[in-house]
């Protein structure tokens, strides 16, 4: 089994990259639904890259946002225990601080710390 490219919080809600927490995909999504949303996300990202003008780029970014919302990475949180959304927070400023500090240096390095 290979290591994940970025550390994932013990509760599976976030991964850490560039020293920020980023919301993971909703694990309750059916495989087909997740795969379709990832396909749409990648297609939309290519459209952003290839946009000929600002209007095309704006439309493509809306498609990126819609796909990320379908995946649970944006919009309302996918967990139901009332925990706040800590997306884009530095892990050392969150309840995950002790977990993050306890990671091996190699993992913290992959996270951008």
The full DSSP string for 12-66 is SSEEEETTEEEEPPPTTS-HHHHHHHHHHHHHHHHHHHH-SSHHHHHHHHHHHHH
- Confidence band of 88 (pLDDT split at 50, 70, 90): very high
Greater model confidence, 74 or 112: 74
pLDDT for 62 beyond 90:
yes
- Per-residue pLDDT, 3: 58
> Could you tell me which residues come within 8 angstroms of residue 83 by beta carbon, excluding any fewer than 6 positions away?
13, 77
Q: What's the total number of domains in the chain?
A: 2
Q: Tell me which residue range forms the domain holding 39.
A: 28-72
In a domain, 33, yes or no: yes
In a domain, 104, yes or no: yes
Q: Are 61 and 32 members of one domain?
A: yes
According to DSSP, the residues that pair with 14 across neighbouring strands are: 23
- Per-residue pLDDT, 1: 43
pLDDT for 30 beyond 70:
yes
Model-level pTM? 0.86
- Per-residue pLDDT, 21: 97
């Amino acid at each position: 089994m290979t290591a994940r490219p970025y550390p994932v919080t013990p509760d599976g809600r976030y991964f850490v990259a560039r020293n920020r927490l980023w919301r993971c995909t909703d694990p309750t999504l059916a495989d087909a639904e997740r795969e379709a949303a990832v396909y749409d996300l990648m297609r939309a990202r290519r459209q952003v890259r290839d946009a000929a003008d600002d209007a095309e780029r704006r439309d493509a970014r809306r498609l990126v946002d819609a796909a990320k919302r379908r995946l649970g990475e944006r919009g309302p949180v996918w967990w139901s225990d009332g925990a706040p959304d800590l997306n884009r927070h530095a892990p050392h400023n969150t309840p995950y601080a002790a977990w993050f500090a306890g990671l091996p240096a190699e993992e913290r390095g992959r996270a951008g710390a």
